[in-house]
Structure formats: structure tokens, C-alpha cells
A and B are shown apart, each in its own frame.
Chain A
Amino acid sequence: KNEVEQSPQNLTAQEGEFITINCSYSVGISALHWLQQHPGGGIVSLFMLSSGKKKHGRLIATINIQEKHSSLHITASHPRDSAVYICAVHLFGNEKLTFGTGTRLTIIP
């Protein structure tokens, strides 16, 4: 069983819909990252968080440390949001990241 599980694996939605991607982890962590990867492109860090909630434009990330769960929300989704979204965690005292397998999001105009 992976230490980091994402759901759903694939998500297709209409433009304008509210999107939620979930990430659950099974170990103690010091921080959680949400990353975005466009087709053929590199990976961009969206958020790094260790508690509470962060917002950047139409993107919101939340984390519940007790429940070992994080969500990434996209409001008013747009076709340019189509990408793979990856959850990754820093284990305590560890420089390395452990990654989920990603959620492929497709927004249809």
C-alpha cells in the first residue's frame, strides 16, 4: 500500500465546475505539497502546507493533520487547469518527498 494515496485517479469536468482532489497519507509528516504538471511539461509547486488552509487565486489547499488528509480545490475551473495534480509529503526529519501517483484533471470547454 502506498504511503500517499490520491483520489480520483482521473477526473473530467465541465468548465466552471468546482473541483476537489483528495490526498490521504498514512505516516507522520512535517509538510505536504501540491504540485501541478502540464502535458510534456515540468512540475510546478502550487502549495506547501503543514496546517490549516492556503489560497492562491482560484486554488485552495487544506490539510487536516489529525485525519492525515488534504484536499486541493479549484473554483470556477477552466480548460487551462487541465493537468496532472500530484500530492507529495515530507516525512519527519527527511529531506525526501514521497509522492502520490497523481490525478489527471481534464476540463472540457
Chain B
Amino acid sequence: DVKVTQSSRYLVKRTGEKVFLECVQDMDHENMFWYRQDPGLGLRLIYFSYDVKMKEKGDIPEGYSVSREKKERFSLILESASTNQTSMYLCASSGSSGAPYEQYFGPGTRLTVT
């Protein structure tokens, strides 16, 4: 079974803090994704990575950065957390590029910024 894990299920941070969300997958997938999910807006792509050290902006990258130093790990960084970044964050991974492969999702991290 593919497993995608996220470092925390719930996180509370203060405005201005630097926040790290970690995602690890165990299936040697090339592609990894970070989404945020908000009521009425559905899932929106923040960043994705198709290889180690490679990254591409998604639909809403402002206020976020990412890091992929190892194939299995993809980190999302909030450089200076703000209240409008309170959301559910979901990580996903999928197989080789060039085909519409199924994405496997982690359990999500519910982040509250106060």
C-alpha cells in the first residue's frame, strides 16, 4: 500500500512565525504536490515537484515556498505565517510523468494561525 504521511494532524502557530509542514511518501514517486483546502473553494495547488530539487508554482504560491532535497520528502514552508493561511493542507504523490497517474493523499494538516 502506498503511504503518504504528514508531520502533524493539527498545528497552531502565531502570526509571523515560520512554519514547516513535512510530507513523506514511501512509493518512490517522482511527483509530489502541496494543496490547501478551504470551504467552498475546494483543493487548490500551492506547489508541486516532479523531481528532487525541482519545483513549479501552482495556482496560489504566494506566501509559500517548498523544498525537495530527497525524493521521498517534500516540505512546505510558510515564511511568515498569516491568519489567511489558516487552512487544511494536504500533500499528495504520484508516479512517473507523462501519464495521468493516480494521486495518493496524506491525512492532512489542519493549520490555525492566530
Contact = CB atoms under 8 A, between A and B. Distances in A.
Interface of A: 30-31, 33, 35, 41-45, 48, 50, 86, 88, 90, 95-97, 99-102
Given A31-B100, A95-B50, A101 B107 contact: no
Nearest to A6: B42
B22 to A, nearest CB: 15
A42 B48 contact: no
Contacts of A30: 100
Given A43-B90, A99-B43, A102-B42, A33 B102 contact: yes
Nearest to B30: A95
Contacts, number: 48
A59 to B, nearest CB: 16
A95 B96 CA distance: 9
Contact of B106 (A31, A42, A86, A97): A42
Main secondary structure of the interface of B (DSSP, over half): strand
B48 A95 contact: yes
Interface of B: 31, 33, 40-45, 48, 50, 58, 90, 92, 94, 97, 100, 102-108
Given A42-B90, A48-B100, A96 B40 contact: no
21 contacts: A31-B100, A35-B105, A41-B107, A41-B108, A42-B105, A43-B92, A43-B105, A43-B108, A45-B102, A45-B104, A48-B102, A50-B100, A95-B31, A95-B50, A95-B94, A96-B48, A97-B43, A99-B42, A99-B44, A100-B42, A101-B41
Contact of A96 (B45, B104, B106): B45
